[in-house]
Amino acid sequence: MNHRRIRARLSEYLDRKLPPEQRAKVDAHLVECAACCAELHELERTVDLLRRLPDPEPPPYLAQAVMARLEAGEGQPELLAQRLRRLIGPAFAVSVAAALGGVFLFTLVDIEIQVPPHRTTTGEPISGVARTSSEPEPARNPYSLARHHARRGESAEVAALLRGAGHPHSALLATHFEHDSEIALASW
Amino acid sequence: MTYEMVESRVATPSRAQAAGRGIVVISDPDAELVDRWQAGDQGAFGDLVRRHERRVFSLVLRMLGNREEAEDVAQEAFLSLHRHGRRFRRQARFSTFVYRVAANAALNRRRTLGRKRAREEALARRQDAGFDLPVTPRDPESAASGSQIQARVQAALLELPPDLRMAIVLCDIEGQSYSDIADMLRIPEGTVKSRIHRARHALRERLQALVRAEADESKGVAS
């Protein structure tokens, strides 16, 4: 093996991913070649520098924030028509719908592609919301407004909005904003 | 070849038995929680978020270099995970799926930020040598130099093109295998190897002084 081919395999050699035969050839080359050996050691130290980077701490309320947003209706599986509109644009979607006798396409909103419905706080299952294309977009939900106020440092407003949402995780987040506002705001 | 996902605490067939049936057994510590979540238990999804939030946040922060953006994208990644949960086919560990969703979210945000802004941010980070990582110095004397080294390494990482950066972060920081990275990024394993190799060489060039200083130090220790 020549230098170029050896050097191209040094990362795999370092990670012990070379087949035994190739590894043996690289071993034999490294014994005789100081330059390739030095390059291997430098790669090793580079990887070591990366591995020594400390783990960043996630924001303290990341999980709660996610659950609160789920409770507010975000992160739900898209309905078929919504997905089509997002992917191919409303104008083209309309023309496709017309070509296929499309009133059926946009009334297929009742067909839901989703994980089985989750439950309300009382344990009752919630079914997916059927929405026709003529219904208006839903109002901005409390959680979106809360994030808007959080970015402005308005912890009292954030807490009030989260309490008003009426969900367990939102209420818990509201408590954090009431008692640890500095940390809570920093994590948003 | 078919795959069977089993819980790690359930007795698994021996490799010989599995091989005889043409089955590859994958042990997944998240299997029980995933089952409960997909059966409708939102609390189980919350447990999955808590279990994976550290790794998701680490990956996204390494890719974006900005804590506020990373917090946003980490949340979006978990919401996306919830939205697309039905796509998890159990042919790999759930953690692989999580990484895939997080990687996509980070790469999408990078594209949204735009190349110009990314270059400006990379320059600012290099100049400030600042990065809000928690520093736990081993001793006060090495605290300053330790955090400076970390800042330089992180700044060099952020200068890599996104595809190389993603590969090396998943491999050398997150400790993922070549095959898992290929699965997460939906690229051939050969491409993974090539990107990791190019990324390491690019970092070595950028950190040459640091790398050679460490080499001299270790020679001094050894002699």
DSSP B139-199: SHHHHHHHHHHHHHHHHHHHHS-HHHHHHHIIIIIS---HHHHHHHHT--HHHHHHHHHHH
Q: Which residues of A touch B197 (CB under 8 A)?
A: 8, 10-12
Asked if the Cβ–Cβ distance from B40 to A46 is below 8 Å, we say no
Residue range B172-209, pLDDT digits in tens: 999 999 999 999 999 999 999 999 999 999 999 999 88
**What is the amino acid identity at position B5?**
M
Phi, psi at B103, each rounded to 5°? -60, -45
CA-based nearest distance B165→chain A, Å: 12
pLDDT score for A134: 45
The average pLDDT across A92-116 equals 51
Q: Are B49 and A63 in contact (CB under 8 A)?
A: yes
Percent of chain A with pLDDT over 90: 33
Residue bearing the bigger pLDDT, A184 or A95: A184
Contacts of B191 (CB under 8 A, 6+ apart): B182
Select the residue from A12, A40, A47, A49 to test the B interface by mutation, using most B Cβ atoms within 10 A.
Answer: A49
Q: Which residues of B touch A183 (CB under 8 A)?
A: none
Asked if the Cβ–Cβ distance from A54 to B134 is below 8 Å, we say yes
Asked if the Cβ–Cβ distance from B215 to A45 is below 8 Å, we say yes
Residue bearing the bigger pLDDT, B145 or B212: B212
CA-based nearest distance B36→chain A, Å: 11
Residue range B57-101, pLDDT digits in tens: 999 999 999 999 999 999 999 999 999 887 787 778 999 999 999
Tell me the whole-structure pTM to 2 decimals.
0.69
pLDDT score for B10: 41
Cα dist. B36→A114, B32, B63, B93, B123 in Å? 15, 6, 31, 16, 46
Asked if the Cβ–Cβ distance from B75 to A125 is below 8 Å, we say no
46-65 in A: which are within 8 Å (CB) of B? Answer: 46-59, 62-63, 65
Taking CA–CA distances from B69, the nearest residue in chain A reads A188
Residue bearing the bigger pLDDT, B18 or A74: A74
Report which DSSP code applies to A33: -
Q: Does A43 touch chain B (CB under 8 A)?
A: yes
The average pLDDT across A61-89 equals 79
- Report residue B5's pLDDT band, with 50, 70 and 90 as the boundaries: very low
- Report residue A166's pLDDT band, with 50, 70 and 90 as the boundaries: confident
